[in-house]
Amino acid sequence: MSEHLAARAVSKSYWKGKNEVPVLRGVDLEVEHGELVAIAGASGSGKSTLLHILGLLDGADGGQVFLDGNRIDDATERARDRHRNRSFGFIFQFYHLLPELTALENVLMPLLIRHGAWSYLSRRRALERQAAELLERVGLSRRMTHRPSELSGGEMQRAAIARALAGQPEVLLADEPTGNLDAKSGDGVLALLRDLNRERGLTMILVTHDMRIAQQSDRVVNLSEGRIEEWSAAMA
């Protein structure tokens, strides 16, 4: 397998008043094509910060990010926007669904952003079929016209997964995707992600504080004091 996404010597600090607080201290991470990697660590260890830097949602103070061997963190803002819309799919703990839109409309949003209003309208039916198929795949075929307030937590996360997949990303980045769910719903979401990883060969990076969840990945990396400690899933 070849390297798909990589961080090289990534560092990041935040400031509290006049005090610098280092979060990442020269992190190196390599993820192969089709691999499901869990990033674990204590609260405040920098897990989410690292994920956001990998997905170009945040910038590092130092270091580099590569996708398929090409550096992407130093790209133009337009190119970074393109990567965020096409290369990466994002799943967050609190879903970030738009409350005024139905599940189907939420899944369509990345495609509307990608194509622009006029192009989107010209291919609307095909895109709606694509979104509906994704919602069916995540078990929401009967909930497409429901708004987030009418969905359970597990259903909202499934809708968010369908939205993340709408743009056919190369890499799926999931930040505590089960952290706001009860155990049963969380297990269902994790099983769905694992199935999608196997079905589509989709590269996934999952941030979690729950070692029971991390154990089900291909590989676990632990963030401690701003540095990576490599574990196997069996050791987690």
pTM attached to this predicted model: 0.89
Distance CA 152, CA 79 (A): 36
CA–CA distance from 63 to each of 7, 10, 44, 225, 236 (Å)? 7, 4, 20, 17, 28
Tokens of 53: 């830097």
- What are the pLDDT digits (tens) for 83-94? 998 999 999 988
Domain residue extents for the chain? 33-59+76-235
Q: How confident is the model at residue 234 (pLDDT cuts 50, 70, 90)?
A: very low
Mean pLDDT of the chain: 91
Closest CA to 165 of 208, 204, 121, 116: 204
Distance CA 146, CA 26 (A): 45
**Selecting from 3.40.50.1820, 3.30.70.260, 3.40.50.300, 3.40.50.2300, what CATH number does the domain 33-59+76-235 have?**
3.40.50.300
* pLDDT at residue 123 in the model: 84
Report whether pLDDT(69) > 50.
Answer: yes
* pLDDT at residue 73 in the model: 96
Report whether pLDDT(116) > 60.
Answer: yes
Q: What is the mean pLDDT of residues 87-104?
A: 94
Report whether pLDDT(29) > 70.
Answer: yes
